[in-house]
Amino acid sequence: MHDSFSLQLPFILASNSPRRKEILTQAGFQFAVLPSDVDESFSTDIPPQQVPVMLAERKAQALIESCGNSLVLAADTVVILENEILNKPADKQEALRMLQKLSGKTHEVVTGIALASPNGLVTASDSAWVRFRELADWEMEWYVRGGASLDKAGAYGVQDFIGMAGIEKLEGSFYTVMGLPIYQVYQLLKPFILESKQMPLGI
C-alpha cells in the first residue's frame, strides 16, 4: 500500500462508482464517498460534449452546503456516437443494442469533472476516441449476460472483457474512458496538497 497525499481539507468523492474510487485510490488520494443524488436529465438542445460537465457541476453543487469546508469532486461520463448520447442502459436488451451500435465504429467518450472548494467551483472535461472492432454476437451477448454493462455509459467498461478484447484503438486518456481523467483531477487538487517535497525519502 503506497502513501496517500495529505490534503489541506477533507476530500469527498460525490460518486459511488467503483471505477472512480479505484482510480483516486491508485493515484494516492484518501477520500470519503458521499454520492450526490441529483436529477440527471438534460435538454437535448445542449451539445452532447457539454452534458457531462453540466451534470458534474450539478452533482458538486448539491453537496456544497452540507459539506462546508471540504473539497467535493463530482464527475460524469457520456458516450457519444454520431452525436447521440448513449446513457446507462435500462436493461440487458438495451445494453445489447448499444454494443451492436458501437461495434465496428469509433465513438467519443467525454468525462466532465467539477471540484467545489472554499475557493469556488471549477470544472473541466476531457475527451477520448474509442474504436471497437466488429464484435461477434456471442461476445456481446456473453458480456451483457454477466451484468457488467448495466451501470456503465454506453453499456461497456474499458477495463472489462469487452473493452480488453474489443477495443482496437483508443486516442486519449484510458482513465477518461474509465470514468475519471485523473491527470486533470490532480491538477485541480494540486493547490490543496500539503507540501512534502522537502521531506527526506527515507530510502
Could you list the active site residues?
76
DSSP lists the bridge partners of residue 110 as 78, 127
Burial class (CB in 10 A: 0-12, 13-18, 19+), 169: exposed
SS3 assignment, position 66: helix
d(C-alpha 31, C-alpha 33), whole Å: 7
User: Closest Cα to residue 27, out of 13, 9, 44?
Assistant: 13
Q: How far is CA 155 from the centre of its chain?
A: 14
- CB of 135 closer than 8 Å to CB of 167: no
- Host H or E run for residue 77: strand 71-81
